[in-house]
Structures are given as structure tokens and as C-alpha cells.
Structure 1
Amino acid sequence: MERPMQYRSMFIQTETTPNEDSLKFIPGVPVMDDGTAEFLDTKSALTSPLAIRLMGIEGVKSVFYGPDFVTVGKDAETQWSVVKPEIYSTLMEFFSSGQSLFRSEEDREAAGPQDTRILDTDSETVAMIKELLETRVRPAIMEDGGDIEYRGLTDDGYVRVKLKGSCRGCDSSTVTLKSGIERMLMHYIPEVKGVEQVLDLEEEIALDEFQKLEQRISREHGDDAKKESPAAHSSLAVETAFMATGGDKNQSQALYLLGGKALWTKELEVALLAGEVDMLVHSFKDVPTELPPGCEIAGVMRREDPVDSLVVKRGKPWTRLEDLPDGSVVGTSSVRRVAQLKRKFPKLVFKDVRGNLNTRMAKLDAPDSPFDAIILARAGMVRIGLGPRITANLGPPTLFHAVSQGALAIEIRADDDAARALCASITHWPTEWSCRAERACLRVLEGGCSVPVGVHTELREKEGQKEGVLVLTGCVTSLDGAKHVEHTIEREVKSVEEAEEVGKNLAKVLIETGAREILDDIKEDRENKIKLSEAAERAGAPAAA
């Protein structure tokens, strides 16, 4: 009887942070008396009973403990109205129970950062850096639900740091580093020449992809320029900038409740239209079929294999979906995949799994994982070096892939003729025609990323000519897999406009043969779930605690 009384009397406050995908929860009791702790996947969260429970909430991808607060990070596709009620409930129940925050004292001691403890071996410069970080920087960053770790001083005077908690992946982090931390350290410590942030493995891989693209643009455009006009682009210089958005962190998730993809690209397009950058590089499947005024897709890179792939839990013997026993749990965050696979594998259980690729793989392989397998886009797995973990590819008729999956697209300002010419010189026309046909189909279906639309495209090129035969298959499947509409159109095409017409015609056939009824049912289902989420948020608000 005592615990329910404590549960009802607890009042948890929330504070927003500069990162819209992180919230700071203040339970009114101490969390970590000393230090901080961060959990980015299920494996690391196993040391803390609270962290593992929070990480088990659908949509939560990180947990951070401060002295008197808990910062929870979500994926970009999940609305706070969906996850906040369960986070409130979990925090209230845990802090009212009197349970230890960590499973052992060893886990507790290993969790908190030891980075700013001044050691006898530290030089005078390093000791001053640590003191300033501990006394001036860390308290300010903790106010925003984050933390900073000291990672060393380079020989040429650069302080290496790692931002954590709500600061991880925040668009303001660069400003925080350069305008705040760097300026202060350089003012008080002349030996400091600058501050640089240490990147995680996945951030390094993403940056490497941009650098490879930069090299290709410079190389291929340079060759074309020499052929056409040696002096035309002699002053061209290409510089890349990496900007992380919420959508970039989760490339395969369907925005079912949000009903659109603009969330993945809008911050980037603001920078583009403001002239801060001249080109944006997107995963083409994450780009809305309707772009903001003043923006256009001007380049499309050669497509990787667009199929989806099965990844089985490490140590399990299965090599195909057909091998999984009845009742096996398959993780995927795509309503398209679930809808299609429910038709063919009704005895399997499909469960949401969210987070970036490394997080999903950790969730799959964790000892307490509920998943027997997960399904991911092959292209993403290969790009970050996880290709060897793929168990089997899932192509048609088992699974039709997402529109434009596996391709990279370059977005520019519509009035930038120079950028358009540059993009044209590196565009792979068969990929562009195929993707634009798929996107035209999706645009007519009015599906965006929020409905189970699958496609498969083959473009049979005529040797030595920029034309070919386009074979485009599209399907729309109800959420429960009970209804499925599928059709194929084969046409000779001699331009990208003709390819888009094939996509439009395919969509019209799908609508006429049953897709409209499926789309209307899905729209109604989404609206009902949004209403339930809003009601759940009101029921779980702090004031009602």
C-alpha cells in the first residue's frame, strides 16, 4: 500500500532542450549524486534497471542520467505525445520503488565519466582545460540535458571533446563548440588552438560517404568540363558540410503517424534556400514527392541494390524467412514490410524495432532480445560495413521494396544553373528514370511514406542509346495484409518524362482495382491512432500524477 501512495504523489517536470528529439525529465529526487551516465543501446542499458525499461519503450533510442534529471532521446519519427505517457509511468514507478539505479556498485562506478579528474601526470595545460570543462562548461550543458567528455589534447593544441545526452546529434552542437567552448578555452588558455568533436562510428561513416561523393563530383565533373570547355569551370571548388537531422538517424522508418517525409529534409532545405549550402545529398527514398518552392532534384547517383534483407539473430540456424518457427518475432519499423509479409507469413509475429542500424543490430543480438530476426534495407547495411550480417535478400514476389530505395539524390535551388549542370554530369540516367517513375506512382497514390506501397523496377537499356524498356510493378497492401493490389506496366521510354508517365498510369490502374479503398482505410486508421495518442498524452500529463 505504501508504494502506490508514493507513486501518486510524485510530480515529474519536463524541460525542452535545444534538441527537439530529447526531453529532460526532472523527477524531484536525486538521480546520480556524482557524474553522469549514457545508454545508447540495449546492451549498454543492461547495467541499469531503469535504463533497460526506458529503452524498451517503442521510439526511445537513448537514455542519459544527470545529477537530478533523466534525458530521454527518441527517434525522429515518433511523436512525444506517443511516448511521454509511458516514460512518465516508468520514471514514477521506478523512483517510487526505492530500487537501485545500477545493478552493482561496479556498474555505477564504471558509468560516470572520469574524464575531468585531474591526474598527477597531467600537464598544467591539461589540468586547466579539465578545470574549465568541469566548473564552467559542464554545468551549462547539463542545464540543457546533456554533458561533455574530455577526450584529449592533440600535439597541435586542439582539445578533443564528445557531446552527450541531448547535445548528441543536436543541430546547435557546432555553435556550442565553436562559439562557446572553443572561444572560452582559447581566451583563458593560450596553448589551446581550437576544439574538435569526436565522432561516433556511424557519424564517421556518414561523413566518409559525403567525402566519397565530393571526390566523385570533382573527378567526374572535371572530366566533362575538360571535354566541353577547359576554362568554363576552372574556379570550381567543392566543400562538404555534414548536418545531421532526425530523419538521417533512421533511414528506413515509415512516418506512419506523422504522415509525411518532410521531417527528414526540412532543416536542410532551410539551409539550402538561405544560401548556406548549394547542394543537399539525400537518401532518395526519404525525399517527399513534392518539394518546397524553389527546390528541385537535379542529380541521382547510381543505385545500390534496392532490395530488403533478412538478418537473423547471431547464433541462430535459420537462413530464410520460411525457416523461422511459428510465433518467431521479426523486427521492422516499416508498415510496408509488415503489410506485405503478413500476407505470406501469417504465423510470424512482427514487432516495431527502431533506432539507427547499429542500435537495431544491438537490439537483435542482445541476450534479452525479443527478436529472432529483423528486416533492413540491404543498401544501408552494405554502406556501413554490415553486409556480412545479411542472412538473405527478400525480393519480389516476397517483398517489394520502397520507392527510390538504394539511391542517393542531390537537391539544389531551382535557380542555380551552375549546380544543375554539375549534377547532370554525374547523374546515372537509368537510376533517375527508374526512381522518377516510382515517385510519380507514389505521388498519384498520395501515399507519401505513410502507406504500404511497394515497387520493383527494371529498365532494359538499348545498347548505345539513352532509351529502353521500362518494366514497373507496384503494389498497395492493407495494414493487416488481407487486401493486396498489384499491377505491372511495360513500356518503351525515351525520356524521363515518359518514365514518369508510366508511374502515373500504374498508380491510376492500382486505384481503379482496389487501392483507393485500402488508402482510405489506412487514412482512417492513422487519424484514430493520432487521436488515441493525444488522449494518452492528456491522461499521462505530469499534472495528473
Structure 2
Amino acid sequence: MDAKGEKKLLKVGSRKSKLALIQTNHVIERLKDYYGDDKYEFEIITMNTTGDNILNTPLAEIGSKALFTKELEEALLNNEIDFIVHSMKDMPTTLPRGCCIGAVLKREDPNDVLILKKSFNVEHQITSLTDLLKSSNNKNGSFTIGTSSYRRIAQLKYYNPGVQCINIRGNLTTRFQKLDDPDSNYTALMLAAAGVQRSGYEDRITETLDSDDWFYAVGQGALAIECREEDRFILDLLTPIFHFKTCLECISERSLMKLLEGGCSVPIGVRCKWEFDGDENPNDKHYSIRAKLWLSGAVFSLDGTKKVEHTDFVDLNEDVEESETNFTNISLPSRTLPCFEKVKRQYRNSYKLGYMLSKSLREKGAVDILNEIKQSKQKVL
């Protein structure tokens, strides 16, 4: 409450989509769970972003790295809102000057999912992507998968060059309507599991692609809260809902993508795994984890004919040389935290993991793939 005993008003920025509002309300409820209903009043300020306004073009072809963030960040820097709720996978690895990621919430399922057209599922009794790619329909070239993600398209083509992919944009309800329309060409959709689950469509999932052979997007499944980097009040406000384990995963993944100069226009996929010491349960601790963090990464050519893959790990508590980095704009906790130096060491090790993996991928040939992608885009332009 303020000096007059009234609730303090906090303005929360969000995109207008149904999923974005579900995620924003989730964050608000988490804050209310901790602070109660008497201290703060939350007002959601919605707006359309560039990515929301361009629906007939694949995201990777639009050419901006801030498709779903730019307009909201402008409002944040103009003090029109106090913080923004984003899907982490939509966040560029470099933010505008004055902005930071003030909190990362606990990651939900980071995997992709396959969703089959209802009529096709009943007729063909297919239960997995493997079945679909091996089906006689695929050999005849008579089925198509709806996705606008270069990463998903490249992986599909890597496993079966004959697969047909069609761009599909819009909210989930619209996508499901397009999928199930008897006159549509779509046989299946590929989507992020977390978005499908948050929107209440779990019953439509045919298969969760949780194999080590399938790579999900950097930051997928996590929510990020962006605020002004000098706004100590908001940074402290967000501290109770900060999920440290997810934060370290995102630092390693985002540093890999940043150092590979990637984004949604480059087919880069990742997969994180943990190796804990003893009975350590990181979900029960706010900061400081005794564990090794493993990160696998892969870079694909746009047509799926080339793939470079590598896996590496770090012990989060090993000594690491100080380096000048902002951890892809993910904020450090308050220096008053008793274990601050240990936390900072784990941040540095997570960033180091992304650095090591990017170096190994480059040595294995990722540079050639990335250069080919850049050249192909320049020819189109």
C-alpha cells in the first residue's frame, strides 16, 4: 500500500492474444499468492506487436529480432507500464538499453508436440511423428504439416526430405480450426507443448516430442518478465517468483544462440538436462544448486540436408574466470543475498556452457551452415 493506505497500482504490459493474457494473468496470480490481495492492484495494458500484425508471412522472413517485444518495450521505457510478461522464446538475446529480464518463472514442458487432424487420426490410427513420416501418405506426398518455424521444418526434412510444410499463423483456436477444416490441406500441426497446455488443449496432443533426437527452441516453455534495469522496486517485487533452475537453463541456451548469431530465422535447437549431487532437489530451493548442467545443441540447414550437433556440460560450482557479460540481459539477484557470489558463479558457468557449445558447433561446421543461410537470405532480398 502507499502512504494513504491504498493499493499500489502496477501496470503490466501484454500482447492481446488469448495465450499472452493467460500467461500474464498467471504471473499476476503468482504475485498475489505471495503478497496477498491487499497490497497491489494490477492493470493489464495490452497492445499488438509487429508479429501480431503480420500474419501472412513466416516469422523468420519478416526480418526483425523483436517481433513480439518492440512496442511493449517502448511503453516500458516511456514509463507507461511497470513490467512485461513474455514467452522467453520470443525474447531477443540483446535487449534495448535500459531493459532487463527481471525474473524467469518455472519452466513448463519445453518440448514440441504433434497434433493430428481429427479425421486423419481416426482413419489412419497414427500415434507418433515416426509413424507419420513412415506412412504411405508421406511417400505419396499427400500430407502436410502446419508450422512456420524454420527449426521444426529443418528437423522434419532432416528425417524425411519429402515432408511438406505449410506456413500457419494466428492464435491456437484459429490454427485448430484450420487444421480440422475438411477442405484444408493440413494433416497435422507442430506446436510448443507449453502453449497448448496453457490454453487448455492438452487433449489434442498426439505425441510429445521429448526424445533426445528432437531439439526444442531456446527458452521454450519459460516465461520472462521484462522491466527497467534500474527499477529496484520492481526487481525486488519479482524476486519471490524467480525460478533459479530455469534461469540457468535459459542463460546457457540464450548465450549459445547469441554467440551463434541465431534467432528465429536460423534453425537452432537445444535440449537441457541436469545431473544433481546426492538428494538435491532444485525445485525446493530458491537459489544455489549443487549440480552439473548439460546442454545439447544442433544447427540445421534450412532444407534439412545438413546437421551439426554437440553436447557439453559444466559443474555449476566450479571456479570460473570473471568475464564481461550481461548474461543475455537476465538480471542478477540482489547483492544483499547471502549466497550472491555463489549465484553469480553459477550464472557465469551457465553462460560458459553456451560459449563452449557454440565453439564446438562452429568447429564442427556450424559456421558453414550459418553462412549458407545468410547468403540465401541475401539472394532473396
Q: Distance in 2 between matches of 1:517 and 1:263?
A: 27
Which residue of structure 2 lines up, in the alignment, with residue 319 of structure 1? 127
1:147-192 CA deviation, whole Å, 9 max, x = no partner?
A: xxxxxxxxxxxxxxxxxxxxxxxx9xxxxxxxxxxxxxxxxxxxxx
1:391 matched to 2:214? The reply is no
Question: Are 1:249 and 1:356, in contact at CA under 8 Å, matched by a contact in 2?
Answer: no
In the alignment, which of 213, 229, 244 is matched to residue 27 of structure 2? 213
Which residue of structure 2 lines up, in the alignment, with residue 282 of structure 1? 86
1:247-289 CA deviation, whole Å, 9 max, x = no partner?
A: 35899x9632233321210100011001111111000000100
1:294 matched to 2:294? The reply is no
Which residue of structure 1 lines up, in the alignment, with residue 266 of structure 2? 451
Aligned to 1:476, what secondary structure does the other structure show?
strand
Question: Are 2:272 and 2:293, in contact at CA under 8 Å, matched by a contact in 1?
Answer: yes
- Give the direction of change, closer, same or farther, for the CA distance of 1:411–1:254 in structure 2 (3 Å limit): farther
In the alignment, which of 283, 293, 297 is matched to residue 470 of structure 1? 293
Q: TM-score of the superposition, structure 1-length normalised?
A: 0.55
| Aligned-residue offset at 1:444 | 0.1
| Aligned-residue offset at 1:526 | 1.3
1:64-89 CA deviation, whole Å, 9 max, x = no partner?
A: xxxxxxxxxxxxxxxxxxxxxxxxxx
Letter in 1 for 2:171: N
1:10-69 CA deviation, whole Å, 9 max, x = no partner?
A: xxxxxxxxxxxxxxxxxxxxxxxxxxxxxxxxxxxxxxxxxxxxxxxxxxxxxxxxxxxx
Which residue of structure 2 lines up, in the alignment, with residue 483 of structure 1? 306
In the alignment, which of 244, 256, 268 is matched to residue 441 of structure 1? 256
Which residue of structure 1 lines up, in the alignment, with residue 158 of structure 2? 343
Q: Distance in 2 between matches of 1:352 and 1:240?
A: 31
Which residue of structure 2 lines up, in the alignment, with residue 521 of structure 1? 372
- Give the direction of change, closer, same or farther, for the CA distance of 1:505–1:244 in structure 2 (3 Å limit): same
Question: Are 1:487 and 1:509, in contact at CA under 8 Å, matched by a contact in 2?
Answer: yes
Q: Distance in 1 between matches of 2:162 and 2:353?
A: 36
Which residue of structure 2 lines up, in the alignment, with residue 258 of structure 1? 62
In the alignment, which of 45, 58, 70 is matched to residue 241 of structure 1? 45
Aligned to 2:69, what secondary structure does the other structure show?
helix
Q: TM-score of the superposition, structure 2-length normalised?
A: 0.78
Which residue of structure 2 lines up, in the alignment, with residue 45 of structure 1? none
Letter in 2 for 1:303: R
Q: Distance in 1 between matches of 2:256 and 2:368?
A: 17
- Give the direction of change, closer, same or farther, for the CA distance of 1:394–1:514 in structure 2 (3 Å limit): same
In the alignment, which of 357, 365, 380 is matched to residue 506 of structure 1? 357
Q: Distance in 1 between matches of 2:20 and 2:301?
A: 34
Correspondence list, 1:407-426, <5 A: 407-426=222-241
Which residue of structure 1 lines up, in the alignment, with residue 347 of structure 2? 496
Give unmatched runs, 5+ long, in structure 1: 1-170, 172-198, 224-233, 532-545
Q: Distance in 2 between matches of 1:379 and 1:249?
A: 23
Letter in 1 for 2:27: L
Aligned to 1:315, what secondary structure does the other structure show?
helix
Question: Are 2:114 and 2:206, in contact at CA under 8 Å, matched by a contact in 1?
Answer: yes
1:401 matched to 2:178? The reply is no
Bigger CA drift: 307-316 or 211-220? 211-220
Q: Distance in 2 between matches of 1:491 and 1:250?
A: 40
| Aligned-residue offset at 1:246 | 4.0
| Aligned-residue offset at 1:517 | 0.3
Q: Distance in 1 between matches of 2:232 and 2:192?
A: 34
- Give the direction of change, closer, same or farther, for the CA distance of 1:235–1:360 in structure 2 (3 Å limit): closer
1:118-150 CA deviation, whole Å, 9 max, x = no partner?
A: xxxxxxxxxxxxxxxxxxxxxxxxxxxxxxxxx
Aligned to 2:299, what secondary structure does the other structure show?
strand
Letter in 2 for 1:318: I
Aligned to 1:433, what secondary structure does the other structure show?
helix
Aligned to 2:305, what secondary structure does the other structure show?
coil
In the alignment, which of 427, 439, 449 is matched to residue 242 of structure 2? 427
> Which has the higher relative contact order, 1 or 2, with Cα contacts under 8 A spaced 6 or more apart?
2
Aligned to 1:374, what secondary structure does the other structure show?
strand
Which residue of structure 2 lines up, in the alignment, with residue 20 of structure 1? none
Aligned to 1:239, what secondary structure does the other structure show?
strand
- Give the direction of change, closer, same or farther, for the CA distance of 1:208–1:348 in structure 2 (3 Å limit): closer
Which residue of structure 1 lines up, in the alignment, with residue 337 of structure 2? none
| Aligned-residue offset at 1:237 | 4.3
Larger Rg belongs to: 1
1:463-522 CA deviation, whole Å, 9 max, x = no partner?
A: 167222101000000011111000000211131221111011111111111000000000
Correspondence list, 1:55-454, <5 A: 203=18, 206-221=20-35, 236-247=40-51, 255-316=59-120, 317-324=125-132, 325-326=137-138, 327=141, 328-454=143-269
| Aligned-residue offset at 1:528 | 1.7
Letter in 2 for 1:475: A
| Aligned-residue offset at 1:359 | 1.6
Question: Are 1:298 and 1:411, in contact at CA under 8 Å, matched by a contact in 2?
Answer: yes
Q: Distance in 2 between matches of 1:419 and 1:295?
A: 12
Q: Distance in 1 between matches of 2:214 and 2:113?
A: 10
Aligned to 2:256, what secondary structure does the other structure show?
helix
Aligned to 1:359, what secondary structure does the other structure show?
helix
Aligned to 1:368, what secondary structure does the other structure show?
coil
Give unmatched runs, 5+ long, in structure 2: 1-14, 318-345
- Give the direction of change, closer, same or farther, for the CA distance of 1:512–1:503 in structure 2 (3 Å limit): same
| Aligned-residue offset at 1:217 | 1.1
Q: Distance in 1 between matches of 2:36 and 2:100?
A: 23
- Give the direction of change, closer, same or farther, for the CA distance of 1:248–1:423 in structure 2 (3 Å limit): farther
Letter in 2 for 1:321: L
Letter in 2 for 1:425: P
